[in-house]
Structure 1
Amino acid sequence: MDEITSSSESPAGAGTSDDAGAPRRDRANRSAALLATLVAVPVTVAVAGFTFAKLTPDAPAAEPGPAATSAGPRSTAPVEMAAPRLAERPATVCRALTSQLPSTVRDLAQRPVTAGPEQNAAYGDPALTIACGGAEPEPGDTDDIWVVNKVCWYAAEGPDATVLTTLDRETAVRVTVPRTYGAALQWVSPISDVVIASVPSGGDAPGGCTG
């Protein structure tokens, strides 16, 4: 009897070389994939970090702290001032003066006063004050007499402030300038303009008032 062999059967040992090579190829493929992953991860992280940095808005710069010379809080409370009773004419003149005073003197804002707003005014902290009414002084030293914007002022130096009083007006105007504000005469410049406009000149001015 003839032996019939199916063509579908593989000869013994025919698949041995292929089966032995397959694991080696798989290991080589996995090693290559792992190496590619190890290289790709840092690159991806770096790219992502760069992209995030570009998309993230810049953090606002820290605001500078207050300088050692910066001004602290300033009081806006009413300034205590006396308000002696004035005769009718000086009272009228002083009302004209205070009604024309500016809201600021240089960089000092006006503050309320405890008494006599029709004859008193105050600015800043420490307070620069303006008082209208009363008699003008009789200075003995012309070295303390100054003409500022056509107004004659007598300067009396004190330990904490300089008091400047008009010498050529119908009624006296006194400006008290704290020493912390420096040269007192620079502060009466804008006030002199209001004095000229609202307080008439009167009487004979001292010799030092020519200027």
Structure 2
Amino acid sequence: MPAEKDRTTRTAALWATAVAVPAALAVGIIAVSSLPSATPSATPASGAPQPASTVPVEMAAPALDDDETVACRALTSQLPVTVRNLAQRPVSAGPEQNVAYGDPAITVACGGEQPSFLATDLVYPLNKVCWHATETPDASIWTTVDRRVPVTVTIPKSYDSPGQWTTEFSTTVLSTLLSREDVPTGCRS
């Protein structure tokens, strides 16, 4: 009699194991697949600032005259420390006229040549600042066309909606840089 009781217990244990092991594996697979991805998003959501790279972003620093230097210092001193959740990064040259955010870096460059464009090109009045956009294979480049000292914002292609990123700087541009008198027609309100 004890041998038959042992055989029944053993069969029940085998069936329980046959059901429990696959169920535990399925629960484990579901738990692991629901964990957040370790790959950072190129279009970060708002929230806590992302850790910034400490490697300086390569930027040119064209020579500025005295008025441009004062204007660019006013602009860069008022730019936010973070844009959305992208923290500022060091730049290779001209910290009085250049600022970079995140990785890949969104850059803001003050000064340089006024942009040239066709009269038929689109201009974008964003938050009372007028911008002209050009596209390259790697980035969308937005330059003010209604300021005495131009500002250029470069947004890498990995970020969605470059115009919306550009608006993050319009308020500071508006409050620190003087308007030109000869603004393009599409910029006039």
Shift of 1:76: 3.0
Whole-angstrom distance in 1 between the partners of 2:176 and 2:147: 10
Which one of 85, 90, 98 corresponds to residue 76 of structure 2? 98
Work out the number of aligned pairs and report it: 151
Select the structure of larger CA radius of gyration: 1
Whole-angstrom distance in 2 between the partners of 1:115 and 1:143: 31
Whole-angstrom distance in 1 between the partners of 2:41 and 2:131: 30
Whole-angstrom distance in 1 between the partners of 2:67 and 2:40: 44
Whole-angstrom distance in 2 between the partners of 1:198 and 1:170: 11
Query: Are 2:146 and 1:176 aligned?
Result: no
Amino acid of the residue matched to residue 177 of structure 1? I
Which one of 93, 117, 120 corresponds to residue 98 of structure 2? 120
Whole-angstrom distance in 1 between the partners of 2:67 and 2:57: 26
Q: State the match for 1:203 in structure 2.
A: 181
Shift of 1:143: 4.5
Whole-angstrom distance in 1 between the partners of 2:105 and 2:35: 27
SS at match of 1:98: helix
Whole-angstrom distance in 1 between the partners of 2:81 and 2:36: 27
Sequence identity of aligned pairs in percent? Answer: 54
Whole-angstrom distance in 2 between the partners of 1:121 and 1:144: 26
User: Residues 125 and 67 from structure 1, CA distance in 2 versus in 1: closer, same or farther, beyond 3 angstroms?
Assistant: same
After TM superposition, the structure 1 = structure 2 runs for residues 7-22 of structure 1, keeping only pairs within 5 Å, are: none
Whole-angstrom distance in 2 between the partners of 1:115 and 1:198: 21
- TM-score (normalised: structure 1): 0.66
Query: Are 2:110 and 1:140 aligned?
Result: no
Dislocated runs of 4+, deviation >2 Å: 68-76, 141-144
Which one of 31, 56, 62 corresponds to residue 78 of structure 1? 56
- TM-score (normalised: structure 2): 0.73
Amino acid of the residue matched to residue 106 of structure 1? R
Shift of 1:176: 0.3
Deviations, residues 65-114 of structure 1 (Å, cap 9, x unaligned): 44275449863311111111110001110000000000011221110101
Q: State the match for 2:145 in structure 1.
A: 167
Query: Are 2:37 and 1:67 aligned?
Result: yes
Whole-angstrom distance in 1 between the partners of 2:126 and 2:93: 28
Shift of 1:203: 2.6
Whole-angstrom distance in 2 between the partners of 1:70 and 1:187: 18
SS at match of 1:129: strand
SS at match of 2:158: helix
Shift of 1:142: 4.0
SS at match of 1:180: coil
Amino acid of the residue matched to residue 119 of structure 1? Q
